[in-house]
Amino acid sequence: WVSDHKSSLVQTDVIGNLLLKINTNNGHIGYHTVTQDGGLIYSDMHKKAIYRITPDRKITEFIKTGDWAPLSVHSSRINADILVGMERNEEAKVNRYSKTGKEIQNIQRDNQGQELYSDPRYIAENINGDICTSDYNKRAVVVVNKSGQHRFSYKGPGSEFLPWGICTDVLGHILVCDKDNKSVYLLDQDGRFLSIILSPQQGIKDPRGLCVDNENNLYVGQFDTNTVTVYKYLQ
C-alpha cells in the first residue's frame, strides 16, 4: 500500500501491478496502516474519521474523531491497538484506540504540562511499546513510552532536520526520513544516532515514506519518482 501527495491510496502486488486505487482527502501525511489480519486502516482528516478496508475490499467507517482532524495512523503489531496522531486548531495529540475502535489513551502533554506535539504527521510503535512520532512543526521525532511518558525528542544530527516517514525494526531501531538532508537515519531505541543508511550518495533523491517488512527489507517511497525502492540494510 502506497499513498501519494495527490491523495491517492494505491495497492499493488510485489511486482507493481495495480490491484486497487482509492481517492482520499489527505496529502503529505502517514495516513494509512496495515493491520495484522491484512486489512487496511486510513484516516480522513476532512471527514474527521478513520476508515477500515477489509481484505475483501469493503470500506467501512471505523472511528469518529470528533472535532480533531486525524493525521497519522498506525496499527500496533504488539496488540492490534490503533495509534492516531491528530490536531485541532493549535493543539495536537496522540490517541490510542482498541482494535474495536474504543478510545483507551490520550497523550498530549509531558509531566511539566508542556505540549508534546504540534504536527504529528507520521507515527510508529517500537518493539518496547514506545510510540515514535515524526512531528513536522517541532522538527523532531517525539518518543513517549507505552504509558505516554515523554522519553526523548530527537532533533537531528545537525542544525537542519525535517522528519517525515518513520518506522521501526525487529531490533528496536528507529528509522526516519530527513526531508532537509534527503537522507534516512538509523537511531537506537533511546534516540542515539547510529548512522545515515541512505543519502544522495546512494542515489536517493527525496525520501518520504518508510516501511520495514518481516524479512527486514526497507521500502522507501520518494517524492516525484513514482517509485518505491527496496533496500537490504540488516544482515
What is the pTM for the complete model shown?
A: 0.94
Which string of b and e fits 168-187 if b means at least 16 CB within 10 Å?
Answer: bbeeebbbbbbbebbbbbbb
- Residue-level pLDDT at 57: 81
Question: Does the pLDDT value for residue 27 go beyond 80?
Answer: no
Write the pLDDT tens digit of every residue in 96-108.
Answer: 999 999 999 999 9
CA angle centred on 125, ends 205 and 107, rounded to 5°: 110
**Single-letter amino acid code for the residue at 122:** Y
pLDDT above 90 (res 153): yes
R_g over Cα of the chain: 16
